[in-house]
Amino acid sequence: MNFGATILDADGLRLTSDEIAFFRDVLPFGFILFARNIDNPDQVRALCADMRNAVGYECPITIDQEGGRVQRLRAPRWREWLPPLDFVTAAGDQAERAMYLRGRVIAHELRAIGVDSNCAPMVDVACDNSHPFLRNRCYGADAGTVATLGRAHAQGMLDGGVLPVVKHIPGHGRATQDSHFDLPIVAAPRADLDAQDFAPFKALNDLPMGMTAHLVYDAIDAAPATLSPKVMDVIRTDIGFDGLIMTDDISMKALSGSLTDLSRGALDAGCDVILHCNGTLAERMEVAAAAGEMCAQAQRRAEAALAARHTPDDIDISAADAELESLLK
């Protein structure tokens, strides 16, 4: 089947009849869940089943379960996680193993409720002036360390049957503004970007999916990365990432313009899929109409991403939890 070039959201705890009819018509590649979609495990499983039944295939369903502030599954029904930077600091020289276990345990929780993708690892490299919305979500301030920990976290999720989405490609760490509300502009020279910001993504360029950064790199283009053919060429050619690229939420305030123009602009720039996270059904319809079906290259990447989704390996989760707790003492 040909997938729609979208990953879409839903309003509440179950799909409405209008949502079901809409999703059946446009066949989005997948879905994303938010806190508004989550109450208890049985309810989330039922919602995921609604979504897959609507499109008629085992579509990927993703979520932001980084841990810390960006964590949709919360106590008391699910684990509370330290923010990644605090977690890495607590683990010390065992951080690589701890990040693997974090990814594997998160994958176990996600698969148990029907979710099979996670918008992580986030391998943006922290800087002294990184905006607070981002800083403690990072894994460190050294590109090599961030790449190593990002690889461990991604592998834990893959081993648990969950597709990782590496973000925010090609690097958001220098942003001094929150792209949910403003458009950050990065003035660093290209050589600095290559050595620091882009390096972890190059090291992880074999991962199945990635998410763009809504910011401007002055050294490359005046257009936001999500809408820039020049930045997308850097991602595909220089970084060497050939996985499926989704936009960050196309409704974020960093981008200006209509949803139609933004969706078409992102696809024209080289993104494969439009991610829409917060809006009305009418706005989702606008995005889906603008995005249409995936092009042949995007379809190939989507199929390759789905082929990377495997049955979880055998693991004793209690033992993994115990080991993880011991590493953080």
Assessment of whether the complete model's pTM goes beyond 0.95: yes
Q: Widest CA span of the chain, in angstroms?
A: 52
Closest CA to 215 of 153, 147, 167, 279: 167
pLDDT band at 56 (very low <50, low <70, confident <90, very high): very high
Which range marks the domain in which residue 92 is found?
4-327
CATH number at 53 reads 3.20.20.300
Tell me, what's the pLDDT at 231? Answer: 98
CA distance 240 to 254: 26
What pLDDT digit, counting tens, does each position of 177-193 carry? 777 878 999 999 999 99
Tell me, what's the pLDDT at 45? Answer: 98
List 11, 159, 180, 238, catalytic entry: 180
CA distance 179 to 118: 20
Domain count, the chain: 1
Average pLDDT over residues 211-240: 97
171 has a pLDDT exceeding 90: yes
CA distance 55 to 15: 12
Q: Is 310 a catalytic residue?
A: no
Q: Is 248 a catalytic residue?
A: yes
Tell me, what's the pLDDT at 303? Answer: 98
| Cα dihedral value 139, 32, 164, 153, nearest 10 | 40
At 15 the three-state DSSP class reads coil
| Cα dihedral value 52, 57, 58, 60, nearest 10 | -70
List 50, 124, 248, 272, catalytic entry: 248
At 6 the three-state DSSP class reads strand
What pLDDT digit, counting tens, does each position of 287-313 carry? 999 999 999 999 999 999 999 999 999
Percent of the chain predicted with pLDDT > 90: 93
Average pLDDT over residues 255-283: 97
Average pLDDT over residues 61-78: 97
Neighbours of 269 (CB within 10 A): 22
Tell me, what's the pLDDT at 289? Answer: 98
